Amino acid sequence: MGIKPLILLEVSYPSISGGYRREYETLRHGRKHGINYIILTDTSSYRNALSIFPDFAKTLGNYKTYMRENKEDQTLIPIVEQLASYKAAYLSALDISRIARREDADIIVSQSENPLSILKCYLAGKLCSKPWTVILQGFPIAGNLDYELVQKSSWRAFLEAPRMKQIRRKYVSLIQMLLTLKILQKTVTLSASKSIPSELKLFNRNLDVWDIDPPCGIDLHMIDETKPAEQSFDAFYFGRFIPSKGMYDLPLIWKKVTKENPTAILGIAGPAIDREHVKRFFNLVQRHSLTKNIIYLGPLPHAEVIRFVKSSKVVIYPSREDSFSMVVLESLACGVPVVAFRSHALVVHYSDFTGVRLFPIHAFDEMASEILTLIRNEVYRQHVLTNANYLVRRFSWDSVAQAELTAFEKVIQKFNRT
């Protein structure tokens, strides 16, 4: 029979992330599973999504879509800016509630952990007396506590980070975080990660959080059909090129690898969000005499990334910010092991995968030793991947769409009982 969820589609920046891919793929696969989305987006999000996914307009054409104009209202005074954002959230909630009534939506859904997006959903649900929920693609606390400041990958980057001009904004964000946790008590929160519910309950035990299982998928057919690139690397990194994903750790790890293997080459692909970060990265590369050992390919089409992954011996993923990691899943599907930091999310999702080798943050010597073994020893490399092919097969986008439908139905049923 299906349901009609009203989805707030917000794409804040024009570069790929696991969360954005999940939103796009559930739209592509949702209709055949009975999810008749009603889309509410804005002109900026639409442009950003179109730059990431060229057929995004065609995908939206399958659903009733409402487009809002962006209105910039920025100020350098944090508290004034925050009050203005709350006013804008209320006005957005009025629009959302009107659309929900007009389209007879079954549920209102935010796919963003942004506190203002959560506030909009909550207010809209109250205004039109309809169920509402949030699909957390990431941990909503981390961004508010400014992980870009506290999780720089080297002490030099930490010392260089701007502090004093951010302090007032950080206090505002802390208050916003506490309000968000109170708001989430008013509904059943959905999570695109098994790690998020336990992390959230450390802050508020009264939250009712359900994980969608499987949380994310991959295009197994595309991966199986893609041929390896002619150019090969000893190791590869792909993903957003930002500090919280380990961009400053990569040269430090690779320096230790090249001490044992001076000709080893690390390939890197991914969008750079901040030019200043890239400048610092290459300064670090030069400082450690790695200009011939590290090749940055920039942002590449997804299929091209998969080709390079398949032609590499190991993927390095020193990320501190994760909720699921499609990078890890796609690497395993390509038959390539992963060496990564032991984040809570990776432990929760990949502890059954022997092809994911996890190490404490800053354990560069141990990571380099494992990388060298994987590069040199093909028998060992194949041994650790023994169960990877079997385990990744359950992560299809059709399974994700079906799991999302089931989750929406459960939230609606619980709302109707209360």
Q: Band of the pLDDT at 176, cuts 50, 70, 90?
A: confident
Least confident of 51-55, 165-169, 292-296, 353-357: 165-169
Per-residue confidence (pLDDT) for residue 142, from 0 to 100:
45
8 A C-beta contact, residue 3 and residue 37: no
Least confident of 46-60, 127-141, 160-174: 160-174
Distances (CA, A) of 308 to 159, 239, 297: 35, 13, 10
Per-residue confidence (pLDDT) for residue 198, from 0 to 100:
82
pLDDT tens, position by position, 113-125: 888 899 999 999 9
Q: Is the pLDDT of residue 84 over 90?
A: no
Per-residue confidence (pLDDT) for residue 93, from 0 to 100:
96
CA 136, CA 212: separation in Å to the nearest integer? 10
8 A C-beta contact, residue 320 and residue 248: no
In terms of C-beta density within 10 A (0-12 exposed, 13-18 middle, 19 or more buried), how is residue 363 classed?
middle
Q: Band of the pLDDT at 71, cuts 50, 70, 90?
A: low
Edge-to-edge order in the sheet of strand 266-269: 294-296, 266-269, 235-238, 314-317, 338-341, 356-359
Helices (H), 161-219: 167-184, 195-201
Q: Is the pLDDT of residue 165 over 60?
A: no
Cα dihedral sign for 92, 95, 100, 103?
negative
8 A C-beta contact, residue 101 and residue 127: no
Rg (CA), the chain: 22
Q: Is the pLDDT of residue 159 over 60?
A: no
Query: Taking all residues of the chain, what is their mean pLDDT, rounded to a whole number?
Result: 88
CA dihedral 233, 394, 404, 188 (to 10 degrees): -90
8 A C-beta contact, residue 360 and residue 342: yes
Q: Which of 330, 343, 312, 303 is nearest to 388 (CA)?
A: 330
8 A C-beta contact, residue 338 and residue 309: no
Distances (CA, A) of 278 to 135, 166, 240, 254: 31, 22, 12, 17
Q: What are the structural domains, with CATH classification, of the chain? A: 5-216+397-417 (3.40.50.2000), 220-392 (3.40.50.2000)
Backbone angles phi, psi at 41, to 5 degrees: -135, -175
Q: Which two tokens stand for residue 417?
A: 């009982």
Question: β-pairing, 294-296 with 314-317?
Answer: unpaired
- Could you tell me the pTM of the whole model? 0.88
* Residues across the chain: 418
In eight-state DSSP terms, residue 207 is -
Mean pLDDT computed over 137-158: 45
In terms of C-beta density within 10 A (0-12 exposed, 13-18 middle, 19 or more buried), how is residue 208 classed?
middle
